[in-house]
């Protein structure tokens, strides 16, 4: 039997590929009924953040990256700035924990994400 990973460890876990981080975040967000989440497709939405979320009526844009060494492109940065200027919440996340922080900035109760049994 493998070692169990705590929620705190999951919050800090880095993924080798951005697609793996996206899949994990989408899975966790899908567990919550009162969030509406859209994952954009890069080929036809240049600059639009990876995740567009309605968190209790607040517009949230999250750009996912594998690590802090990866930065948003200029176009992605412009999109994040536009969201902020429109009273939305926008941020770049490298981990599940950072996604929760961005959602908390939008006033969303992230305590709803209970520790998971793996």
CATH value at residue 36? 3.40.1350.10
Does residue 56 come out as left (phi exceeding 0), alpha (psi in the -120 to 50 range) or beta? left
In a domain, 116, yes or no: no
**Domain-located, residue 32:** yes
Q: What is the pTM of this model?
A: 0.87
Give domain status of residue 115, yes or no: no
In a domain, 1, yes or no: no
pLDDT recorded at residue 10: 83
In a domain? residue 102: yes
pLDDT of 44 > 90? The answer is: no
Q: Looking at 1-118, which runs of residues are DSSP E strands?
A: 35-39, 51-55, 58-64, 89-93
Average pLDDT, the chain: 87
114 domain-assigned = no
Assess whether pLDDT exceeds 50 at residue 118: no
* Model confidence band, residue 2 (pLDDT cutoffs 50, 70, 90): low
Please give the tally of structural domains in the chain. 1
- Digit-coded pLDDT (tens) for 64-109: 999 989 999 999 999 999 999 999 999 999 999 999 999 999 988 8
Stretch 24-48: mean pLDDT? 83
What pLDDT is attached to residue 103?
A: 94
Tokens read off for 18: 């951005």
Q: Domain span at residue 101? A: 7-109
Is 2 within a domain?
no
Residue 98 pLDDT: 96
22 found inside a domain: yes
């Amino acid at each position: 039997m493998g070692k169990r990973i705590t929620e705190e460890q999951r919050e800090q876990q880095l993924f080798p590929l951005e697609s793996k981080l996206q899949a994990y975040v989408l899975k966790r967000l899908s567990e919550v009924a009162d969030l509406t989440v859209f994952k954009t497709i890069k080929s036809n939405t240049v600059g639009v953040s990876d995740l567009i979320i309605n968190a209790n009526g607040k517009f949230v844009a999250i750009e996912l990256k594998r690590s802090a060494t990866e930065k948003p492109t200029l176009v992605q940065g412009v999109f994040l700035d536009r969201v902020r200027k429109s009273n939305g919440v926008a941020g770049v996340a490298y981990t599940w924990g950072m996604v929760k922080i961005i959602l908390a900035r939008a006033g969303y109760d992230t305590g709803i994400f209970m520790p998971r049994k793996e």
